[in-house]
Amino acid sequence: MTHPFNSGCPCCLPRNGLSRRQFLRTTAAGVAAAPALAAGVIGEAQAAPRAQSGRPILLKGGCVLSLDRAVGDFEQADVLIEGKKISAVKPNISAPNAQVIDASKCIVMPGFVDTHRHMWQGFLRNVLPDGSLMDYIQVVQRKFGANFVPDDVYAADLLSALGCIDAGVTTVLDWSHIHNSPEHSDAAIKGLQESGVRAAFAYGTPQTVSGNWKEAPKNKFPGDIARLRKQYFNSDDQLTTLFLASPGGPPPEVMAIWKAARDVGARITIHVGVGEFGRSAFLEKMHAIEPLKSDTTYIHCCTLNDTEWKLIKDSGGTVSIAGYVETLMGHGNPPTQKAIDTGIRPSLSVDVETSVPNDFFTQMRTVFSLQKNEVWARRLGGEKDAGKFLTAREVLEFATIEGARANGLEKKVGTLTPGKEADIVMLRHDRLNVMPMNNAVGAVVTSMGPQNVDTVLIAGKVMKRNGQLVGVDMNRIARLGRQAQERAYKAANVPDKRV
């Protein structure tokens, strides 16, 4: 049974006046008492290995935000993981044979889900902190990207993917428009697979000096998607899934590209409504050729017209908002309120690490504050129906549930639901930026940062524990990144200056 308020945390009483003990009964009615701790508790200072074969993992005594209304949230409960999947979420689970991870100082919740990140730019982080969209196109795409070799793509994807895990992002859509050759495609997939992140790999166009992807000498787009499906994505039971990252262009040409994706069962993701470029009624023209479908995610959407928004809603399409970069680079106002007004619950995304932090705490706070500001501005302008304020819980759902839906993975991840795969983060609430915690959802959305990410599991494997990535040779990763950085700067003829 779901509790009637948004916190589900220590020190925060339910709005209906229930006591803390009554609250636990409300969220877990009928749960029998069980031993407080199973054998073999892993303490704070002891690193947890990945699960031994066949041995369950028990996350013990955390403040659990399942984000599943049927499961509920708990001030204190356990999460049992068997193999890749969550098998139980409730207080006092008895699992004598389990490895036990002490979660008593943590919020336990689903991992964050990013629906749009250009991961081939992983070692170009912060290269354009002040850049506009045109700066990004000229420098990152046409200078750096046009000259990338496959080893650069591998290093970048690996760096970016490990950065996701480190920041609590367990699923990411790699919007990969760096396919200058089939070898570039293979290198990107290799980086994702080696990292252990859950990834939707969105196969896209090459980069060229001119900006015309068709001029790439080894261009195989979009036809190579059939090879990729057969070679890398021939099972539904794996961490990587296949998308198509669609370019813009004349609608008949774009629709033909979408057909190549649908022929191999790949979902589609596309940038629309970006600045003045986005005022072309592109989606209306696409819909006139063939009705829009539910297999498509529309990114940014800042300058779409009302008809286009209705087409997305009526088709069952999904939306990805990257609020930080949209305000930074001139895409337009992040359309969170427009999505809500249209009846669409958006997902969130980082977009470009060349200019944007890689964590989801920043993304949540950006859309949260901007949406509230828009409603306030409407009220100050005298509008009678100015809209409702987002709640922190809704924003947290955008960062998890809606992300899973947009990535086509809602049956696998996005909530802590028994039967779903165990993509879980444990966030420390005993850190100075949070303690003493008064509201769990509020703490995650408004106060926490990457430094609170203590433990990360993906498909039941412990990928990060006690604040450190598990089984990652950081010296090697640093070396790969620096070598790729040196190659890329030299090939692009850009001075390698860091001050």
Q: Please say if the pLDDT value at position 467 is more than 90.
A: yes
What is the residue range of 279's domain? Answer: 112-406
In a domain, 15, yes or no: no
CA-nearest of 347, 345, 348, 350 to 328 is: 350
Q: Please say if the pLDDT value at position 32 is more than 80.
A: no
Q: Do 59 and 147 fall within a single domain?
A: no
Q: Do 62 and 132 fall within a single domain?
A: no
In a domain, 306, yes or no: yes
CA dihedral 313, 314, 316, 321 (to 10 degrees): -20
Quote the CA–CA distance of 475 and 160 in Å, as a whole number.
16
Q: Do 291 and 375 fall within a single domain?
A: yes
Identify the domain boundary among 380, 406, 432: 406
What is the pLDDT confidence band of residue 37, given thresholds at 50, 70 and 90? Answer: very low
CA-nearest of 333, 283, 325 to 305 is: 283
In a domain, 492, yes or no: no
Residue 190 CB contacts under 8 Å (≥ 6 apart), including other chains = 154, 157
What is the pLDDT confidence band of residue 385, given thresholds at 50, 70 and 90? Answer: confident
List, for residues 70-115, the tens digit of each pLDDT value: 999 999 999 999 999 999 999 999 999 999 999 999 999 999 999 9
What is the pLDDT confidence band of residue 208, given thresholds at 50, 70 and 90? Answer: very high
Q: Do 58 and 153 fall within a single domain?
A: no
Q: Do 331 and 257 fall within a single domain?
A: yes
Task: Let me know: does 50 contact 465? Beta carbons within 8 Å.
Answer: no
List, for residues 431-441, the tens digit of each pLDDT value: 999 999 999 99
* pLDDT reported for residue 1: 33
Average pLDDT over residues 452-481: 98
**Token reading at 118:** 């250009």
Q: Do 243 and 305 fall within a single domain?
A: yes
* pLDDT reported for residue 53: 56
Q: Please say if the pLDDT value at position 46 is more than 60.
A: no
In a domain, 248, yes or no: yes
From 39-43, 81-85, 248-252, 494-498, the region with the lowest mean pLDDT: 39-43
In a domain, 163, yes or no: yes
The 8-class DSSP code of residue 145 comes to G
SS3 percent helix, strand, coil of the chain, rounded to 5, is: 35, 20, 45
* pLDDT reported for residue 35: 26
CA dihedral 463, 467, 471, 474 (to 10 degrees): 130
In a domain, 477, yes or no: no
Q: Do 423 and 399 fall within a single domain?
A: no
Across 114-145, b (16+ Cβ under 10 Å) vs e yields bbbbbbbbbbbbebbeebebeebeebbbbbbb
Quote the CA–CA distance of 289 and 310 in Å, as a whole number.
17
Residue 320 CB contacts under 8 Å (≥ 6 apart), including other chains = 115, 116, 269, 297, 298, 299, 300, 346, 347, 348, 349, 406
Q: Please say if the pLDDT value at position 49 is more than 70.
A: no
Task: Let me know: does 9 contact 434? Beta carbons within 8 Å.
Answer: no
Q: Do 140 and 96 fall within a single domain?
A: no
Q: Do 107 and 118 fall within a single domain?
A: no
Neighbours of 230 (CB within 10 A): 10
Quote the CA–CA distance of 166 and 160 in Å, as a whole number.
10
Q: Do 178 and 319 fall within a single domain?
A: yes
Task: Let me know: does 330 contact 131? Beta carbons within 8 Å.
Answer: no
* pLDDT reported for residue 12: 35
In a domain, 487, yes or no: no
From 24-33, 84-93, 214-223, 394-403, the region with the lowest mean pLDDT: 24-33
Which CATH number is 76's domain given?
2.30.40.10
Which CATH number is 158's domain given?
3.20.20.140
Average pLDDT over residues 468-481: 98
Q: Considering its fold, how many domains does the chain have in total?
A: 2
Q: Do 57 and 204 fall within a single domain?
A: no
Any idea what the Cα angle at residue 492 is, between residues 132 and 156, rounded to 5°? 75
Q: Do 258 and 397 fall within a single domain?
A: yes
Say what percent of the chain tops pLDDT 90: 87
In a domain, 481, yes or no: no
Task: Let me know: does 23 contact 3? Beta carbons within 8 Å.
Answer: yes
